[in-house]
Structure 1
Amino acid sequence: MTDSGLDKEEFDEELDVNGNMSFLEHLEEFRWTLARSVGAFLLGAILVACFLGQVSDFLQYPLRVAYGSAEVAEQQLVTRNPMGVFSVFIQIVFLGGFTLSLPFMLYFLGRFIAPGLNEREKRILIPSCFAAFVLFIAGVAFSFFAVLPLTLSFCVRLNNYFHFTLWWTATDYFSMVVWFSIALGGFFQFPLITVILVVIGVVTVEQLKRFRRFVAVAIMVFAALLTPGGDPISLSIMSVPMYLLYELAILIGARFERAKRDKELAETDDL
């Protein structure tokens, strides 16, 4: 019997109801979360591999824009060694598998951390997971349809200016497309992280407003590094949407802070 009058079996059941788990049980649940995430990724990768030709053609869109002709672009990609095509295969399958499985991985992660959250945190968990996926896709799309075409077009024009013959290795091209897209998709999580920090009280909206200048400069530097053209149009296309995301995070964070203050005032009035 325990001190509360429950025997061991009843006490264990009470722990299960309250969601309390031992360290080993948490470790086991984490192992299953990883296994499910890996399984979702593998299924996504297999699906992409089944349509590898179509996906490969689609990923050559920035190169076609840079040359202004699909036929010319198709003649540019070469491989320097017999194993280069395997590197291309792996990178295409990785990007496609990761993108397709991301919603499921976020869901599995949410299920894992949900028992340790309070009611308020649980209410923002599902919207946060959905927002993370949408922002990642937005970042990948922005990279693929805006930044990469501009960057590659500049490289083509610059090589033509110096009368250089430009040969693209398939490995380097697909590596740039894959990792650049994933990096920008990850960067687009920045406003979501900012809002979450405001919601849980780590930072305030006033602090975010004071850091506006520093954030603007950091974004401009980041955009300049990613866009070798350095022209105002390329920098604007790259940096303006990023800064607007920061302003959006401030607006959303302000709404959360206002709702929190109204709730606290209501509770004070009740007392």
Structure 2
Amino acid sequence: MGKSFVKDHSAEFSVLDHIEELRWRLIRAVVIILVFTVVAFIYMPYIFHTIILAHAYPDFWTYRMLCRIDNSLCVDTLNFTLLSREMSGQFTIHLKSAFIVGFIAGFPFIVWEIWKYIKPALHKNEINVSFKVVSVVPFLFIIGILFGYFILAPLSVNFLANYNIDAAIQNQFDITSYVSTVTIMVLVCGLIFQLPVLVYFLAMAGILTPEFMRKYRRVAIILVFIIAGIITPSPDIMSQLIVAIPIYLLYEISIYTAASISKKRKMQEV
């Protein structure tokens, strides 16, 4: 009876310790985001004009690179104006933009806090492997963010800004709509670029195999172009290819990742 009580009491404390550890990890993650958010809020006038509104100007880096590729790809004008239609609109977008920048800047630290929380439950060999995976997650996220910012967002803004169903209609976009559109595109790319990490965990669990991924490679190509068509408003084939090719390369990297895990598993079985 006494031993049973001690075990139950010990288990209860163990659970409480885990909850307390999780609570402090979450607090650290929130504090990190808040710190970056406050810094972004202070410097938002510069960030907003130089980074967030950059796609609204014809001299944006991507537009200049497209013009160097071919004159037909040059972006001379962007036929739209940005408006704030609500009294608190600009202040709200100031706060929202600061939080988005804070989240993106704090993402690597959030991943680190998550890994530190689960680390004690891992074996020694798992710690090294998981550390490598944790190091790759923020790297892929940032690469995805850059892809969305420099490729997907400008292509979409250019297409939507110059799309005109009738000459009598002028494009006047609300600033909230503009920021939301650009933000969603950029963050979605950050998530899409996590595909190799997702495949890694699925392969580790034995759910996904490289043979399966190779077998359905053609289906994957079709799905990649469907995804590219959904996230890219522009119907021209050039824009579709620019978006689809990197996503397909992620699929090939994922096959390599799954194959490496499968090879290690077979060697361990022998």
TM-score of Structure 1 vs Structure 2, range by shorter chain = 0.7 to 0.9
1:165 has 2:170 as partner? yes
- d(CA) in 2 for partners of 1:120 and 1:201? 18
- d(CA) in 1 for partners of 2:28 and 2:126? 24
- d(CA) in 1 for partners of 2:150 and 2:222? 24
- d(CA) in 1 for partners of 2:121 and 2:13? 10
The one of 6, 15, 19 aligned to 1:27:
19
- d(CA) in 2 for partners of 1:101 and 1:40? 6
Deviation at 1:66, TM superposition (A): 8.6
- Equivalence for 1:37: 29
1:244 has 2:249 as partner? yes
TM-score after normalising by structure 2: 0.83
User: Residue 66 of structure 1 contacts residue 156 of structure 1 at CA under 8 Å; is this kept in 2?
Assistant: no
Q: What is the one-letter code of the residue matched to 2:29?
A: S
User: Residue 228 of structure 2 contacts residue 243 of structure 2 at CA under 8 Å; is this kept in 1?
Assistant: yes
- Equivalence for 1:61: 54
Q: What is the one-letter code of the residue matched to 1:125?
A: S
- Equivalence for 2:124: 119
- Call closer, same or farther: CA 1:151–1:73 in 2, change over 3 Å: closer
The one of 205, 212, 216 aligned to 2:210:
205
- d(CA) in 2 for partners of 1:165 and 1:75? 7
Structure 1 gaps, min length 5: 266-271
Larger CA deviation: 136-145 vs 252-261: 252-261
Deviation at 1:133, TM superposition (A): 0.5
- Written as runs of structure 1 = structure 2, the 5 A alignment for 1:1-271 is 22-57=14-49, 58-65=51-58, 76-159=81-164, 162=167, 164-265=169-270
- Call closer, same or farther: CA 1:56–1:173 in 2, change over 3 Å: same
CA deviation vs aligned residue, 1:136-185 (integer Å, no higher than 9, x gap): 11111111111111111112332287453111211111111222211221
SS at match of 1:159: coil
What is the root-mean-square deviation in Å for CA atoms of aligned residues? 2.9
- d(CA) in 1 for partners of 2:241 and 2:183? 23
User: Residue 88 of structure 1 contacts residue 175 of structure 1 at CA under 8 Å; is this kept in 2?
Assistant: no
Larger CA deviation: 120-129 vs 76-85: 120-129
- d(CA) in 1 for partners of 2:166 and 2:79? 21
TM-score after normalising by structure 1: 0.83
% identical equivalent positions: 25
Q: What is the one-letter code of the residue matched to 2:110?
A: M
User: Residue 79 of structure 2 contacts residue 162 of structure 2 at CA under 8 Å; is this kept in 1?
Assistant: no
Deviation at 1:97, TM superposition (A): 0.4
- d(CA) in 2 for partners of 1:52 and 1:264? 56
Deviation at 1:214, TM superposition (A): 2.8
Structure 2 gaps, min length 5: 65-74
Aligned length: 251
Q: What is the one-letter code of the residue matched to 1:46?
A: V
SS at match of 1:229: coil
User: Residue 196 of structure 2 contacts residue 257 of structure 2 at CA under 8 Å; is this kept in 1?
Assistant: no
